[in-house]
Structure 1
Amino acid sequence: MKILISSAGYPPYFSGVATATANLAQILSSHHSVTVLSSTALKHPHIKSLNQNLKLFLFPGVNFKIKSKLTIPYPYPKKIKRIIQTFRPDIIHLQDFSPLGLSALSLAHEFNIPAIFTHHFTAEFVVKTLIADNYLSNKISQSLTTKQLIYRLVNLFYNQCQLVTVPNQNLIPYFKAAKLKTPIISIPNGIITKNFTRKIALSRIIKQYHLTSHKIILFVGRLDADKNLEILIEAFKPIYHQNPDTNLVIVGQGNQKTKLLKQVKQLHLESSVRFLPPINNQNQTLSHLYNAAYLFVNPSITENQSVSFIEAFAAGLPIVAADHRLQNDFIKQNQNGLIAEPNNPAAFATAVQKLLSDQKLYHQISRNNRHKAKQYDISLTSQQYLSAYYSLLASSKSLPTLSREGSKI
């Protein structure tokens, strides 16, 4: 099968969507031909061949958030058309609403190629991204009217596809209530679980990253407003005072980093909070950090199905997360971690303290999470996508003959 995937973000860009897309493309390419359309910070389009069956076409665009290093690629309809005519994909799989992806969607219609769209974000994420004020964004994002409006807007595009997928099945009722006509199913994000079970001596990690303590509380992700990391840092102050053997390690990059560094300084936590740059999920170092950590934390209320949560499962880390309807089936209280009242540093700190002090609960959750991670292995989730692809092909009309003219990007 020939599969065309479009995603504005792709490693080395650091995000859950980029990681999920790369994981899927990589495993599909072991038995199928895969072409990925994505972005580059360079001024000119270029091509990368990652293996015999996996090729990246990278396009320049606009970087609205310079520190996040995400480039929104221009649409390039003529170039995308030429790629489609040359590659002749059986399926077009879209991961976001970038102009590049929407260009591919338009061409899917032109050439009668089945299109599948994976929805990765929540309505809360949209509000948090657009409205800087925390109180106002939290208030608006809880409005059912706001959620319905956002999902109705995205349905304008999803209703042009043959299938919509979501990692989190709890999102499906929102789309159906917002008049989605296209079939929608849930396929979870997948990771290469074996990459997150690699052990390394804790002393080596402590020395490598100049940590001062042996209990690492870990966050991995974008340092953007929707992650609520100011809540985490505020919560860590009482945690550290009661548990001086802890370090908070934050891995990632984003627009909030300068603000967060300033907060750490104001709270006099410079010796106990360490910021590390983004680490590719294929890099053994990231696996080593997960396996050296004691807990995984994320106070965000905008998660759909966090890839970093799944990576933490594979490493056997208990999780402390904010109470959010969409992720409460994903992270069950006292089974996969502890759920804290959202936007409440004291409540978040209390949950972390409980896992630091209750060894019986800690080890039970750790065992549960190692077992839970197995269902998110990319070998299983990719098979669900392949089943969806083949089903769409079986029900679609014959593809028209595509011109093979031109192979240049």
Structure 2
Amino acid sequence: QSGKRAVAVKNVTLAEEHLHDHFPGYPVMPESLMIEAMAQTAATLVVDSLEGVSAKSCVVYFMTIDNARFRKPVLPGEHFFKCTFHTYFMESEYLRTVGLDKLKLDNSKVISKGLWIYANMFYNQADLVISPSEFTKKDIIQNGIQPPVVVISNGIKLPLPKQTNTRKKFKLPKSYFVYVGRVSREKNLDILIEAFYQFSRENENTHLVIVGDGPAKRDVQKLIKQHRLGSRVHLLGMVPHEVLLNSNIYTEARAFATASTSETQGVSVLEAMSFGLPIIGVKARSLLELIKDNGISCEPNDIVGIARAMTLCVADEKQHEDMRRASLSLVRRHSLQQTVDQLEKVYLKVAHK
């Protein structure tokens, strides 16, 4: 409304100890700061840009109570109209990340079932649930989520036509595969490195570049040292997103490689496709929808298969070019503009129910 003031609440990044060890650099939302802000402002509160079922989602509920306490209006943001399912936090890959797999409870199935119940309690209060992929939509419906579920891609900004030459800055090798993402156990980087080790025994020229940070970094470093791959596997650490997209880390890579089986969509995979990279991945979850003629899909945990895919991607120039063109074609349907248009229609539809 013209002349009215509103405060928008979004995620902020703080080094909260209980989250920082597992998810360094991830955004969190401290309730104490929000309560203080609500007490000091007479503005309408707009709640937006919260992620999935997590501590942040729980805060939304308490924020409405706190806001009512201060008698301030709440403008429904995205999580009051709809919820987005973006993380399989109840699955074994994520239970491994936080150490819950160590509890001998039928291979963590009891914990996983309990977390699905919790997820359903939250999501079933929504008018609409958004899934980033068809696979995830089917999966969450099968596990008890009842509101209507629509599929809308996370969406990505298509890359700028020119990227800054950062080969010297990041000490990029001449030929390499690239992985971009969290360095944590559910991403199966141990499988990827083992596959690269098999590949490297036959190929001396192509390297592996890993962009990202996380709780499994030490394990990754140990595995690299164990296989004497220190000169072939390059850990760039956390690279700011805008720096990554404006650099030539993606564009200079031979292909994007991942062994992760936990993706609800895989934004880094989409970004790699937007730069024309072939994708080497596994037949799991949303990757089944993203890897078509633009890459090579292997069975989950298939070290030999992934190594063969790497070899093929390096050896066959024609197939590499065909996959590159296919990536550029397939990624167009995931443009950020299309995502925004779809979200706008969804918001308006649910808001006027």
Question: TM-score when scaled to structure 2?
Answer: 0.83
Equivalent of 1:246, from 192, 200, 206?
206
Query: Does the 8 A contact of 2:53 with 2:85 survive in 1?
Result: no
Matching residue of 2:254: 294
Matching residue of 1:50: none
Q: Distance in 2 between matches of 1:363 and 1:34?
A: 49
Matching residue of 1:16: none
Aligned: 1:175 with 2:140:
yes
Amino acid at match of 1:379: Q
Equivalent of 1:277, from 214, 229, 237?
237
Matching residue of 1:361: 319
- What's the CA shift for 1:277? 1.9
Matching residue of 2:126: 161
Equivalent of 1:348, from 283, 306, 310?
306
Matching residue of 1:99: 55
- What's the CA shift for 1:150? 4.0
Identity of aligned residues (%): 25
Matching residue of 1:68: 24
Aligned: 1:258 with 2:218:
yes
Higher strand share: 1
Q: Distance in 2 between matches of 1:121 and 1:273?
A: 28
Q: Distance in 1 between matches of 2:214 and 2:175?
A: 25
Amino acid at match of 2:331: A
Relative distance call for 1:80 and 1:103 in structure 2 (3 A) is farther
Query: Does the 8 A contact of 1:148 with 1:177 survive in 2?
Result: no
Relative distance call for 1:381 and 1:124 in structure 2 (3 A) is farther
Q: Distance in 2 between matches of 1:302 and 1:185?
A: 20
**Any idea what the Cα deviations from partners look like across 1:282-317, whole Å, max 9, x if unmatched?**
225654100011110010111110010000110100
- What's the CA shift for 1:233? 1.1
Query: Does the 8 A contact of 1:219 with 1:250 survive in 2?
Result: yes
Amino acid at match of 2:43: T
Q: Distance in 1 between matches of 2:208 and 2:7?
A: 39
- What's the CA shift for 1:241? 2.5
Query: Does the 8 A contact of 1:222 with 1:254 survive in 2?
Result: yes
Query: Does the 8 A contact of 2:124 with 2:145 survive in 1?
Result: yes
Write the mapping of 1:141-152 to structure 2, written as runs, cut at 5 A: 150-152=115-117
Q: Distance in 2 between matches of 1:108 and 1:41?
A: 22
Q: Distance in 2 between matches of 1:244 and 1:117?
A: 48
Query: Does the 8 A contact of 2:24 with 2:213 survive in 1?
Result: yes
Aligned: 1:198 with 2:162:
yes
Q: Distance in 2 between matches of 1:115 and 1:81?
A: 21
Query: Does the 8 A contact of 2:97 with 2:186 survive in 1?
Result: yes
Write the mapping of 1:321-336 to structure 2, written as runs, cut at 5 A: 321-332=281-292, 335-336=293-294
> What is the alpha-carbon root mean square deviation over aligned residues?
3.2
- What's the CA shift for 1:223? 0.5
Query: Does the 8 A contact of 1:63 with 1:69 survive in 2?
Result: no
Aligned: 1:86 with 2:43:
yes
- What's the CA shift for 1:373? 1.6
Matching residue of 2:191: 231
- What's the CA shift for 1:140? 4.7
Equivalent of 1:385, from 324, 343, 349?
343
- What's the CA shift for 1:170? 1.3
Q: Distance in 2 between matches of 1:156 and 1:146?
A: 15
**Any idea what the Cα deviations from partners look like across 1:357-408, whole Å, max 9, x if unmatched?**
122211111001111121111111111111111112212xxxxxxxxxxxxx
Amino acid at match of 1:208: K
Amino acid at match of 2:85: H
Relative distance call for 1:315 and 1:165 in structure 2 (3 A) is same
Equivalent of 2:11, from 32, 38, 46?
38
**Any idea what the Cα deviations from partners look like across 1:252-289, whole Å, max 9, x if unmatched?**
11111112112111111111111102122222565410
Aligned residues: 336
Q: Distance in 1 between matches of 2:261 and 2:9?
A: 30
Relative distance call for 1:322 and 1:214 in structure 2 (3 A) is same
Amino acid at match of 1:86: A
Matching residue of 2:97: 129
Q: Distance in 2 between matches of 1:34 and 1:310?
A: 32
Indicate the SS of the match to 1:218.
strand
Write the mapping of 1:22-61 to structure 2, written as runs, cut at 5 A: 35-41=8-14
Q: Distance in 2 between matches of 1:251 and 1:119?
A: 25
- What's the CA shift for 1:153? 2.4
Query: Does the 8 A contact of 1:219 with 1:297 survive in 2?
Result: yes
Query: Does the 8 A contact of 1:228 with 1:300 survive in 2?
Result: yes
Query: Does the 8 A contact of 2:163 with 2:246 survive in 1?
Result: no
Query: Does the 8 A contact of 1:152 with 1:175 survive in 2?
Result: no
